[in-house]
A and B are shown apart, each in its own frame.
Chain A
Amino acid sequence: MELNSSPEQASGALVSQISPNWVTTRLDFLVNWARANSLWPMPFGTACCAIEFMAVAASRFDIARFGMERMGYTPRQADVLLCAGRLPFKLAPVIRRIYDQMPQPKWVISMGACASTGGIFDTYSMVQGIDTVVPVDVYVPGCPPRPEGLLYGILMLHKKIRGETLADPDLRVERPLEPGGLRIPPRLVDELSEPFGNSVHQTRSA
């Protein structure tokens, strides 16, 4: 390893050279333990799910128990983007910019039916699932989810973080929008946005 390379290059080169072994797994354990237990949320509350999220943050359910009490209302000091509520197309560039501004490591929780799928808003103005705009780690179902539901989602995210490893060089790579201006291929966006449930009974012209 060259001594004059930058710290990121150095650590990247180091990590790519070592296979998962006893040292890396112990280091992973320590890093992931620290990360999972001090997640700072960036609340992106757009609707009624945000009210439920306030209940989660308040004393009765108290996400301070998981080291999450510090709301980062600036994306630069946040780890988890928590989209609570439906996302209109007008807010899509905003959440994308917030996501881009968050430093790695970062995760995204999609809270509620509308954020995850568009929910009842199968209309001209609503993004059909925020996963067409930003990558999502945990989907929490519900309309809105009970606070216990969101806590379960947070614990699932903890579990996911505990499974991460430094030996995976792709894990923390920034993925900007593709040249076409989308995060994923257009066909996939259309497929994710297909109507389901009761929406299938209304035609496109209804």
Chain B
Amino acid sequence: MNPSVESLRRAFGSKIGRATVSCGQTIVYVEPGSIREVLQWLKDTPGEEYNYLVDVTAVEYRDPEPPLEVVYELRSLERRAELRVKAELCKDEPLEVDSVVPVWNAANWLEREVYDMFGITFRGHPDLRRLLMWETYAEGYPLRKDFPLRGRFSRAEQVRRALHANPEANYSLDELSIAQAHRDLPADMRERLERGERAAIPDLPDGEDG
């Protein structure tokens, strides 16, 4: 068992749930409401110094009863120690948890990926958009257990929506670092960038199903 668990219990008391060891890796469960506070403490406290966020991901179990878990994989580069922190989210309530981007910038895209695949909202995230699927993807969250493997729409509808996506709109102006040059762009390009992918999808002619 990683000694950090005892220090966490001393510092946070009942906010720290059970802790187990799996394959030599310590897993500690934390109340979701205080996850940012706990992770900030783990990063800053001398003697803990988990300064590297390896991964943020989520797990949904096959059975309906167990809650969804948001998993934070921490590593201390100086101490060469690892700790896995989990927050359990009940499926009956809105899936929300505080963003840890203020603690580690690395969490930005990791949380976006979790949001994209599981639909978990990270409060305080600076730019919570889909990362892997395109912005107008309307079929839900693919890694949830209630999501059908082949998607919710018919194949024809999926192809139609995909063909209508604007492949140039997957990057925000900031990401392209052309925010400064924005007003120098030709009007049509500026309009296209602002419109993004959100152009209307044409309806099928009568008599054809989607």
Query: Which residues of A are interface residues toward B (Cβ below 8 A)?
Result: 89-94, 96-97, 122-125, 127-128, 132-133, 177, 179-182, 185-187, 189-190, 192-193, 202, 204-206
B76 part of interface (Cβ distance < 8 Å): no
Q: Provide 26 A-B residue pairs closer than 8 Å at the C-beta atoms, listed in order of the A residue.
A: A89-B159, A89-B161, A93-B166, A94-B167, A124-B139, A125-B133, A125-B151, A128-B155, A133-B159, A133-B163, A177-B163, A179-B205, A180-B160, A180-B204, A181-B160, A181-B201, A181-B204, A185-B208, A186-B204, A186-B209, A187-B156, A190-B155, A190-B156, A193-B156, A202-B149, A206-B148
CA distance A105 to B76 in the complex (A): 59
Contact with A along B167-210 (1 / 0, CB 8 A): 10000000000000000000000000000000001111100111
Q: Within the assembled complex, what's the spacing in Å between the Cα atoms of A90 and B159?
A: 10
**With known contacts A89-B162, A92-B162, A204–B208 Cβ distance under 8 A:** no
Q: Is B18 an interface residue (CB 8 A)?
A: no
Q: B34 an interface residue at 8 Å Cβ cutoff?
A: no
If A179-B205, A180-B204, A186-B204 touch, whether A96 touches B150 (CB-CB below 8 Å) is no
**A179 closest partner in B (C-beta):** B205
Q: Is B142 interfacial (CB-CB < 8 Å)?
A: yes
* Docked-complex contact B162 and A182, CB < 8 angstroms: no
Chain B residues whose C-beta falls within 8 Å of the C-beta of A124 in the assembled complex: 139, 142, 147-151, 158
Question: For chain A, what secondary structure do more than half of its interface residues adopt (helix, strand, loop), or is it mixed?
Answer: loop
Beyond A180-B204, A190-B156: 5 further Cβ-contacts under 8 Å? A89-B159, A93-B166, A97-B167, A124-B149, A190-B154
Q: How far is the CA of A204 from the CA of B163 in the complex (A)?
A: 23
Total count of chain B residues near the partner, CB < 8 A = 31
- Residue contact B160 to A186, C-beta cutoff 8 Å: yes
Minimum CB distance partner of A193 in chain B:
B155
Task: Give chain B residues whose Cβ lies under 8 Å from the Cβ of A92.
Answer: 159, 162-163, 165
Interface check B157, CB cutoff 8 A:
yes
Contact A93 B167 (CB under 8 A): yes
User: A180 to chain B: which residues have CB within 8 Å?
Assistant: 160, 202-205, 208
With contacts A181-B164, A187-B208 known, is A204 near B156, CB below 8 A? no
Task: Tell whether B134 is near chain A: CB-to-CB under 8 Å.
Answer: yes
Task: List the A side residues contacting B157 at CB < 8 Å.
Answer: 186
| Contact present for A122 and B204 (CB under 8 Å) | no
- How far, in whole Å, are A205 and B154 apart by their CA atoms in the complex? 13
Given the known A-B contacts A93-B162, A94-B167, A179-B205, are A186 and B156 also in contact in the complex, defined by CB atoms under 8 Å? yes
Nearest CB on A from B161, distance (A): 8
- Chain A residues with Cβ below 8 Å from B156 are 182, 186-187, 189-190, 193
Give the Cβ gap from A102 to chain B, nearest Cβ, in Å: 16
